[in-house]
Structure 1
């Protein structure tokens, strides 16, 4: 199946059903179908053809969804761009994506999108032939060498009847991976794979035609668009807004009777804050899936439970698509709050491989998680070597995550492979140390990294303290020394104001590489101070 067939089916069977609430503008499946066809005709008239690539640089909106579906009708691959991107990221993605077209909203939030484009080396934008402008057009073309086309322009004629329908294997969307230490990879998925994944997610979470999904993440990322796929596949309604404001989200949940949402724990926590002390504030909301990008869940699981919401941990990636696994809504809270879970597709399989011997491990033993799933990417865009390195001959994707399998269809995620620490010969999950430190009064969050020091790996902690707290590094280390094995005790424990982060489509992710640099600087300064004291 392709997206045009899927949309045509919904428009024929349930034309007046709501496909999208764009803030407070309700869009039916018939209207979405008509808009996608209009835009497809407009782009085709301008010379857009199957195999082209379009950089889609918009926030969540009716226009984003309509442009994506128009491109799917023409066989154009959409390269999804985060609106947070600035000149370096935007130029790199447009160039490496070999984009011929760009769609943008120059006046969105007053952000300087046109100026961002002008700050990019013109050679990186040389492949762009046309810019589709949503909203008010800028006074000057965003890219001088490219023609400017208004989103609301009408085509002179509908699509030619002879225009061939793209196959399900046609490339549909490119995600950027959100790694924190190196250049992102470009991950491409085809139409059939994405639709199949949407059906699997909808079945797993019980999403039906009369349900509504609050979009808790941007369409441009795997996390947000996988949730959208579940809605599109099942014919449910999507509830969206260009800006994820917690109070606005709370209002939309109530007004449009959202039944599901998939968001990071920071947003869910703030939505509950917006609800205040009201008992059962969101009676329609059955499931809230979360991906924990923040340092700690805190009391979110308990608060959600008290509010009558089934909070379930999620797992996914750009390569496998988000929501590839999740905890079951009827499991105990202690299980539901864990990352990982059961694979959404009945055909998917998971295993863990020993990182040193390369052997497949029995259930319960920690190793690198490998997943075989119908949701797997077609590959890294224009990078076959990287694709072969990431996917083995059997089709299992090497996730780079450590965890243990429960059975061949479910697992528990522990940490990224590079995050586990080998301390005094023992493999230690830094989360164990982090959670112990977070239990100390005055500490709100903690991150622990390992660095080489005097010939061995040692743990270094960085903690955020409550406002007004007088907690010190010595307090943290003494707390650990009283209860933890000696090799788990941080050699330094810095109290800092904020963790270094990198922005992604889903959330702000902590840059552990920068924390390691900060840890080395701490150890160097301690060594210098000790040497100076000895000389005195």
Structure 2
């Protein structure tokens, strides 16, 4: 592509990635059309009212119904005396109540605190206390966790939802199966709680008062996974999320150059909506494009997930390497019709080349890798969507985003040199909630967020992650990056998934240990070591191999090396 794109943008010629941009994509996003997510929501509803916005277990919720129900929840919350900026926790999986509640909270001028429903009482208590949450919405399956910590928090209002609440006549059967057959609801008792249906009914008789919100007001407290220590709340403003949507809309349009845009977009929403990836890429982008999100309450149930996929013509599929891998190892998945799939978007962890190549061969749709964090709302970089190339990188910065590779002293490193990936842009959080000390460590005086990820930028402006700072293994003074070892090991046909860590070694300081889940039950340690020896230099080779039936994973399916380190 001609160098002129940099000059045309009128931008700093130091932004070398602009020469690699898809033709016609601007360097900057321009002024935001909305002051708040509530304003954006009103516009989306007016534009797409008749279309389905979310579908779960065969039941669809139109934009108009989402508007009505979320207004009722928002009005009910206001009737409790909650005021602009008060925090409300949401502890729900991917069910129709989730978007109704989240958009209800936002439209009432309150702040959403997303909570992983699988949290232990200790983790939940930390988050509720840290956020100062005044209310919580929880699925009855997890109400026993809330019950255990409630007295030690500032929460005054508890709303308990049931799986079948929004599924019509079918809902009663679903609740019966969940409670009596599968026994998924442990005993709980929360005196004074309100049922979701009661809150909805009360709110329907009230009128939502539109709050006066500034773009700088806080929309979400998005807690980091705690993979690097205590979980902290990333303070995401309305403008952070609206900016990321504007950036992604520009980027998404280029995908339809490769394959025509369907009249009505259908998104697969298998990643949990309480996670920043699905929150923005699925929920907000679904509303922005008039799309329908197919909610998958339990993506770990691969056979049920595949059966659900077979019912829809999916166009956009955000996911993780581990999810793509698990699906491709299901015999029924291979029989699905993928002709409608326009975009597969990989994030959350590195997409391994063997997985990307198999996915392309099986579905005919390439995986386009992007990168982001809770602190960046989340998308900061992405590969071009108008080509089918798998680059093995996280792509280039989105419009209005800058990436620099910096050393320990904060100096910007030249192209090709390895250092910490740092990001500046309108999607970068305001800071960590009530943690000025942590904010000062994370955001440099010139506004760059230090990601804790190690990588380099090539001459095309594409960034390659080498690893997380804390995961790096030091073998005899050499830096060894687990991602590289895992990618090599994953090419062995007998390996389903794997993870590498460093363990103490009297001779080399640390040695590489590889945890392996077998695809071939006869796979031996010697075969794994032989395969790695053929592809890795001596100090990078695993000295220890341990076979496991499964690897520890985060709520979105990211392999947790810290748990393997014990």
TM class by shorter-chain length?
0.7 to 0.9
Instruction: Please state if 1:509 is matched with 2:559.
Output: yes
Task: Name the residue aligned to 2:546.
Answer: 495
Match of residue 242, structure 1, among 262, 285, 297: 297
Gaps of 5+ in 2: 1-33, 166-174, 176-184, 256-260
TM superposition shift of 1:311: 1.1
Match of residue 266, structure 2, among 198, 212, 220: 212
Once the two structures are superposed, the pairs formed by residues 383-532 of structure 1 within 5 Å of their partners are: 383-406=435-458, 410-439=462-491, 442-454=494-506, 456-464=508-516, 465-469=518-522, 471-472=524-525, 476-477=528-529, 484-490=536-542, 492-498=543-549, 501-504=552-555, 506-510=556-560, 512-517=561-566
**Counterparts of 1:482 and 1:276 in 2: how far apart (Å)?**
32
Gaps of 5+ in 1: 518-536
**Which of the pair is proportionally richer in strand?**
1
Task: Name the residue aligned to 1:13.
Answer: 47
Moved more, 176-185 or 68-77: 176-185
TM superposition shift of 1:274: 5.5
Are the structure 2 counterparts of residues 276 and 320 from structure 1 closer, same or farther at C-alpha, using a change threshold of 3 Å?
closer
TM superposition shift of 1:221: 0.5
**Counterparts of 2:351 and 2:345 in 1: how far apart (Å)?**
17
Task: Name the residue aligned to 1:262.
Answer: 318
Structure 1 residues 297-335: Cα deviation after superposition (integer angstroms, max 9, x where no partner): 644532333421121112111101233322223445441
TM-score by length of 1: 0.84
TM superposition shift of 1:408: 8.6
Aligned pairs, how many? 500
**Contact 1:188–1:377 (Cα < 8 Å) also in 2:** yes
TM-score by length of 2: 0.80
Instruction: Please state if 1:310 is matched with 2:366.
Output: yes
**Contact 1:437–1:476 (Cα < 8 Å) also in 2:** yes
What is the SS of the residue equivalent to 1:54?
strand
Are the structure 2 counterparts of residues 327 and 249 from structure 1 closer, same or farther at C-alpha, using a change threshold of 3 Å?
farther
Are the structure 2 counterparts of residues 308 and 165 from structure 1 closer, same or farther at C-alpha, using a change threshold of 3 Å?
same
**Counterparts of 1:437 and 1:241 in 2: how far apart (Å)?**
30
Match of residue 41, structure 1, among 49, 52, 75: 75
**Counterparts of 2:523 and 2:366 in 1: how far apart (Å)?**
37
Higher RCO, 1 vs 2 (CA within 8 Å, ≥6 residues apart): 2
Are the structure 2 counterparts of residues 268 and 486 from structure 1 closer, same or farther at C-alpha, using a change threshold of 3 Å?
closer
**Contact 1:128–1:146 (Cα < 8 Å) also in 2:** no
Match of residue 109, structure 2, among 55, 75, 82: 75
Task: Name the residue aligned to 1:352.
Answer: 405
- Aligned-CA RMSD value: 3.1
What is the SS of the residue equivalent to 2:202?
coil
**Contact 1:312–1:327 (Cα < 8 Å) also in 2:** yes
Structure 1 residues 412-438: Cα deviation after superposition (integer angstroms, max 9, x where no partner): 212111223333333332333344445
Once the two structures are superposed, the pairs formed by residues 274-285 of structure 1 within 5 Å of their partners are: 275-278=332-335, 281-285=337-341
Instruction: Please state if 1:151 is matched with 2:207.
Output: no
**Counterparts of 1:435 and 1:39 in 2: how far apart (Å)?**
46
**Contact 2:405–2:419 (Cα < 8 Å) also in 1:** yes
TM superposition shift of 1:401: 0.4
**Contact 1:442–1:471 (Cα < 8 Å) also in 2:** no
Task: Name the residue aligned to 1:117.
Answer: 146
TM superposition shift of 1:339: 4.4
Task: Name the residue aligned to 2:9.
Answer: none
Task: Name the residue aligned to 2:414.
Answer: 362
**Counterparts of 2:62 and 2:492 in 1: how far apart (Å)?**
52
**Counterparts of 1:452 and 1:427 in 2: how far apart (Å)?**
15
Task: Name the residue aligned to 1:373.
Answer: 425
Structure 1 residues 13-37: Cα deviation after superposition (integer angstroms, max 9, x where no partner): 3321222223322222122111111
TM superposition shift of 1:516: 3.7
